[in-house]
Structure 1
Amino acid sequence: MSRRIVAASLTAEAFAPFGDVIEIAGEPDKIINQGQCGRFHDRAGVDFGDGRAGISLFNANPRSLPYQLDMVERHPEGSQAFIPMTQHPFLVIVAPDVGGKPGKPLAFVSSPGQAVNYHRGTWHGVLTPLHAPGLFAVVDRIGQGANLEEVWFDDPYEVVLG
C-alpha cells in the first residue's frame, strides 16, 4: 500500500526551505523599455560549486494525479530552476535532507505564471507537468563531474490533490 502525500498550492513561504518560487508578485522593481515593461528583478539565486550556468529546454511527458512517487534526486553541485513555457500547472515535489537521505516528501501544485528554483542539494522529484505540452526552460549547472544523486523508495508514495 502506498503512503499518501496531499499536494498543496505552491507558495513562496511554504517552499522557502527548498528554494525560490519565481513569480510576479507585488510591484515591479523597475519600469524599463520606454515604460512598457515591469522588471521583477533577481527572483532566484543561482548557486554553483563550479562550472557555469546553462539554459536547456526540456519537453516532458505529462503525468496525472494520483501520481506514484518512487524516486527523488538532488544536485549537490548546483541549483536547478524549472521555468514552464506554458500557462499550465505542474507538480513540485521536495523532501528535507535527513542525514544525507530524503525525509518525508512534500508536494505542491504550481499556479500559472509560477516557476521554481531548487536550492543546491535539495531533494526533489523529477520534472512533472500535469498537462501537455510539458515545455520547460531549465537553468542549471553545466560542468564536469557528477551532479546527480538519486534515491529510490522501497515503498512509493501516492501524491493526490488537496
Structure 2
Amino acid sequence: MSRSVALQPQPSAEAFAPFGRFITRPAAYGQRAFYSDQMPVEGLAPVLHTNFNRPSALPATVAKLERHPHAAQAFIPLDVERYIVTVCPSLADGSPDLEKVLSFAVPGTQGVIYARGVWHAGASVLDRDGSFAVLMWRGRPDDDEFQDIPPLTLAGKDA
C-alpha cells in the first residue's frame, strides 16, 4: 500500500539546509552567486551532463531513492516550468528515513544542490517536458546508491 506525502511549496533556504542548497540568481545586477563550496571532492573529477524528462502528473509515485555518499549533485534547470524535489535524512544504519520524507514543488527558475549522502528521488518535472544540466564530481565506483522503497504518493493542493 502506498503512503501519501504532501507536495509542499518550496521551503526556505534555512529549512532545506540539512539536505543541500537552492541555486538562485543574485539579487542585484553585476553580482555573482557562488555555490562551489559543496561540490569539489579530492580525487574526483567534475562531470556535467544534461537530461530530458517527460512530465509527471500529480499525484506522482516515488518507489526508489538514491544518494551519493562522496559528492554533492547539482541540478540546474535549462528549460523547466516546475519540478519535484523529494528528500529524506538517513537513519543510523544509513538507510533512508521514510518517516521524514519531504517533497516540494520548485520553480524552474531555481536549481538545487543535494548535499553528499542525502537521499533523494530522481529528477521529475511537472507541467511539461523539461531539461536540466547536472553537475557532479565522479570517480568512485561506490558513489551511486539506490534503494527501492515502499511506494510514496506525492500529491499537492495545486495538482
Partner of 1:42: 34
Q: Which residue of 1 aligns with 2:154?
A: 159
Distance in structure 1 (CA, Å) of the matches to 2:58 and 2:42? 35
Give the Cα–Cα distance (whole angstroms) in 1 for the partners of residues 40 and 87 of structure 2. 18
5 Å-filtered alignment, 1:77-156, equals: 77-99=70-92, 100-104=94-98, 105-153=101-149, 155-156=150-151
Gaps spanning 5+ residues in structure 2: where?
none
What does the per-residue CA deviation read over 1:43-72, in whole Å, with 9 as the maximum and x for residues that have no partner?
A: 452143531122111112221110111110
Q: Distance in 2 between matches of 1:9 and 1:40?
A: 26
Tell me, in whole angstroms, the C-alpha distance in 2 between the residues paired with 1:49 and 1:9: 35
Matched, 1:10 2:10: yes
CA distance in 1, matches of 2:19, 2:153: 21
Q: Distance in 2 between matches of 1:133 and 1:20?
A: 24
Provide, for residues 10-55 of structure 1, a one-character-per-residue CA deviation record: whole Å limited to 9, x for no partner. Answer: 2312211100011136x33xxxxxxxx5333214521435311221
8 A Cα contact 1:49 1:78, kept in partner: no
Distance 1:72 1:49, change over 3 A: farther
Residues 23 and 43 in structure 1, CA contact (< 8 A), matched pair in contact too: no
RMSD, aligned CA: 1.7
What amino acid maps onto 1:101 in structure 2?
A: S
Distance across 1 between alignment mates of 2:20 and 2:141: 23
2:60–2:153 Cα contact (<8 Å) kept: yes
Residue 19 of structure 1 is matched in structure 2 by 20
CA contact (8 A) 1:49 1:77 kept: no
Percent identity among equivalent residues?
31
Q: Structure 2: how far apart are the matches of 1:54 and 1:18? A: 21
Under a length normalisation based on structure 2, what TM-score does the superposition of the two structures give? 0.87
Say whether residues 1:51 and 2:44 are aligned partners: yes
Alpha-carbon distance between aligned partners in 2 of 1:60 and 1:112, rounded to the nearest angstrom:
13
**Counterpart amino acid of residue 81 in structure 2:** H
Residues 93 and 124, structure 1, Cα contact 8 Å, conserved in 2: yes
TM-score of the two chains, using structure 1 as the length reference = 0.85
Q: Which runs of 5+ in 1 are unaligned?
A: 29-36
Q: Offset at 1:76? A: 1.0
